[in-house]
Amino acid sequence: MVWRHVAGRLFSPPLTVAAEKLDEREIAELAERLHATARRTLGRSLSIRQVDAGSCNGCELEINMLNSVVYDLERFGLHFVASPRHADVMMVTGPTARNMREGLLRTHAAAGEPKFVVAVGDCAIDGGVFKGSYAVDGAVANAVQVDLVIRGCPPSPAQMLVGLRLLLEANAGP
Amino acid sequence: MSLDALLARGREVACQPWARHVLTPDAWTELRGVVLDLLGLWADPHAVHALLHQDGAYRLASVEVRDGAFPALSPAFPAAAWFERMIADLWGHRAEGGTDERAWIDHGRWDHAAPMAARPGGPGRPQPEFLAHEGDDIHEIPVGPVHAGIIEPGHFRFSVQGETVVRLEIRLGYTHKGTLGLLNGKSPRAAARFAARLSGDTTVAHSVAFARAAEAACGTAAPPRADALRAVMTEMERIANHLGDCGAIANDAAFAFLPARFHWHREQMLAAAQTAFGHRLMMDAVVPGGVSVDIVAAGPGAIEAALHRLEVELPNLLRVYEDYSSLVDRMVTTGIVSTEQAQRFAAGGYVGRASGRDVDLRQSPGYPPYDRLELAVPVLQEGDVDARFRVRIAEIHASTLLLRSLLPALPDGPIAASLPMATGEGIGWAEGFRGDIWHWMRLEGGIITAAFMRDPSWLQWPLLQAAIRGNIVADFPLCNKSFNCSYSGVDL
Ligand code: SF4
């Protein structure tokens, strides 16, 4: 019975992990980079569209955890959307498999301006272990302009959260 | 006819632990008349290989490719069709008399067709047409490769009459990374990171199967402590994935409470893995020869704490699941796979076991350390979304018991053996959370010259196509989540 679970939990500590403190210097640096591209800033709430450009699914598993009660992405004003038309941010994973390149480009084109692109995981950053294969183009930055990278194989949800919040702060400005 | 009688007519090639039988094209064609399970089909530049199963015995058969062709097995075994298309795309060998000769993972985007052939060809083949449909009032719904949710890319083409799905055709290959090509020319140790990344959710079990294939080819065995630690990691991976799947299934029936709880428990398991082995998914922790990390002193305690919390709440979650008729209504009788269908495709894992197939590689053919452990394998008959959900819940329980017997009794000793620079062939297997995983490799002087990795999804994706037939479109996400097939695992 749901209500009994709910009642029981009223007296237990929150399940959500505390938000890590962000590095002011990193925010400033990223803000400068974003500013240099002279894009109009977006508000304090960003919609994210994820695109798998040939990942092994490891990165997706961890991105999915951002939606769980533990990381609760939405408390920061960040949320995932189904349509690229609604997206301010694209999180791209994978070594840009050639078979997915067009899918990535079309999704990117479908998202309105301004938009930010975050390359998530070592594959998206430079092809990772798949670098040099006949079937991949490597870095996502070879296909679309990338604003932020989040390292790891896969990066943990905590690392992703820090990256996305940096973007939020840098975009909104002081 | 008995498979062994037919194979005896072939030439035997050494492969561990089972010899490989090279058949003439005529004898290979006779395989079509034998009652057996076709578990996998792959190639090298000169031959095509099959992994077959009959009455508890696993066998390897091969046929040399002549004039670029070999006799197709798809007329007798429907599961062979996707493999044959993959073989044509990667090695350029044509399956003569095959049921489907359209391109598969070659979408015409590579510099060369048949990239794995001795001499790769010109530009690739264009993506094929979808199957035509006949009949009035049928319309098509194209979905993907970019889906609404955060999942892997693939294209689903639904032919729909009113609300009812008449046919689903799945097109994959979007995440093809050329993984098999990257294995060649490397030592098993260097190539292990590709096995760990064939399908990131199954990184442990694929690494185990790959390592066991390498060890078989070298005639080495991993030390007992490594076997036990591999099993600890495999069972943790199974629990974590089943928790994620159970949450995702309930989520697609719009029941938010269950995913909240299941995903919280999943997080606890991943955090325990981070504590115990230094990586949430335990990637690269299993290597040919053994394991690369030992469990830390705090590891068993962290794992037990996560198991305990789960064990306390799981019965309540199941009760919630059963108490809500709106939820049960979505699950029961949705997306049925009959036992006959599951058998025809020799499907393993929760897909096979929810449809009456009592198969589990940990039991048969078995491998250490499971051969000395008690293991309950849940089997249901209904074959619907509900049965696939319940098999997972039962497996979470079974894996909990396995971990409880493994952790307090970890053998002492080294965690890895070194592999000699051997020449040989081996096949390795492991039961991952999706089912039976098989890896085969050939070594020359310690270097891989040919290899294949068979994810369980090869035999499950086609059943998803069958399961959705006659269901309404709105139930597809639910069906799909209850299968949770791997894209990357079969895209290679
Ligand atoms: S970065 Fe690692 S986890 Fe992410 S897609 Fe690449 S191989 Fe998989």
- pLDDT tens figures, A122-168: 999 999 999 999 999 999 999 999 999 999 999 999 999 999 999 88
8 Å CB contact between A99 and B105: yes
**A93 CA: nearest ligand 1 atom:** 5
pLDDT at A16: 84
Sign of CA dihedral B248, B253, B254, B255: negative
Min Cα–Cα distance to chain A from B107, Å: 6
- Number of cross-chain residue pairs from A and B with Cβ atoms under 8 Å apart: 147
| Residue A174 DSSP label | -
- Rounded distance from Cα A23 to ligand 1 centre (Å): 26
| Residue B472 DSSP label | B
Q: Which of B80, B107, B105 is nearest to B95 (CA)?
A: B80
Please, what is the Cα angle at B36 between B35 and B42, to 5 degrees?
Answer: 135
**CA-to-CA distance for A85 and B34, rounded, in angstroms?**
54
**B197 CA: nearest ligand 1 atom:** 7
Q: Which of A54, A152, A64, A144 is nearest to A105 (CA)?
A: A144
Question: Domains in chain B, start-ordered, CATH in brackets?
Answer: 3-96 (3.30.460.80), 179-456 (1.10.645.10)
Amino acid at B31: L
8 Å CB contact between B437 and B449: no
Cis, bond preceding A114 (omega within 30 deg of 0): yes
Its pTM stands at 0.95
Chain B stretch 131-150, residues whose beta carbon is closer than 8 A to a beta carbon of chain A: 145-146, 148-150
Residues sharing a CB contact under 8 Å with residue B200, sequence separation 6 or more, in sequence order: A55, A56, A57, A58, A59, A60, A61, A154, B281, B283, B488
Chain A stretch 122-161, residues whose beta carbon is closer than 8 A to a beta carbon of chain B: 129-130, 132-136, 153-154, 156
8 Å CB contact between B377 and B394: no
Q: Which residues of chain A have pLDDT under 70?
A: 1-2, 5-6, 8-10, 38-40, 173-174
Residues sharing a CB contact under 8 Å with residue B312, sequence separation 6 or more, in sequence order: none
- Rounded distance from Cα A60 to ligand 1 centre (Å): 9
**CA-to-CA distance for B271 and B74, rounded, in angstroms?**
44
Question: Is B111 at the interface with chain A, CB within 8 A?
Answer: yes
Q: Which residues of chain B have pLDDT under 70?
A: none
Locate A162 and state its tokens: 């820090």
Locate B275 and state its tokens: 């504590």
Helices and strands (DSSP H and E) totals, chain A: 6, 5
Residue recorded with tokens 């296909």:
A143
Q: What are the E-state strand segments in chain A?
A: 46-52, 78-80, 89-93, 116-120, 148-150
**CA-to-CA distance for B78 and B74, rounded, in angstroms?**
5
- A54 contacts in chain B (CB < 8 Å): 153, 174-177, 488
Distances (CA, A) of B460 to B26, B186, B244: 30, 31, 19
pLDDT at A2: 66
pLDDT at B175: 98
**CA-to-CA distance for B280 and A61, rounded, in angstroms?**
11
Min Cα–Cα distance to chain A from B7, Å: 36
pLDDT at B75: 97
Residue B166, sorted as left (phi over 0), alpha (psi -120 to 50) or beta, turns out to be alpha
Chain A stretch 3-42, residues whose beta carbon is closer than 8 A to a beta carbon of chain B: 5, 15
Amino acid at B293: V
Counting every residue written for chain A, the total comes to 174
Residues sharing a CB contact under 8 Å with residue B271, sequence separation 6 or more, in sequence order: B280, B302, B306
Q: Are β-strands B447-454 and B436-444 bridged in parallel, bridged antiparallel, or unpaired?
A: antiparallel
Q: Which of A141, A81, A138 is nearest to A112 (CA)?
A: A81
**CA-to-CA distance for A155 and A103, rounded, in angstroms?**
23
**If you take atom 6 of ligand 1, which residue's CA is the nearest one?**
A123
- Rounded distance from Cα B155 to ligand 1 centre (Å): 22
- B267 contacts in chain A (CB < 8 Å): 65, 68, 70
Helices marked H in B253-298: 257-277
**CA-to-CA distance for B430 and B125, rounded, in angstroms?**
34
Min Cα–Cα distance to chain B from A68, Å: 6
Min Cα–Cα distance to chain A from B85, Å: 16
Q: Which of B195, B159, B358 is nearest to B284 (CA)?
A: B195
**CA-to-CA distance for B75 and A158, rounded, in angstroms?**
50
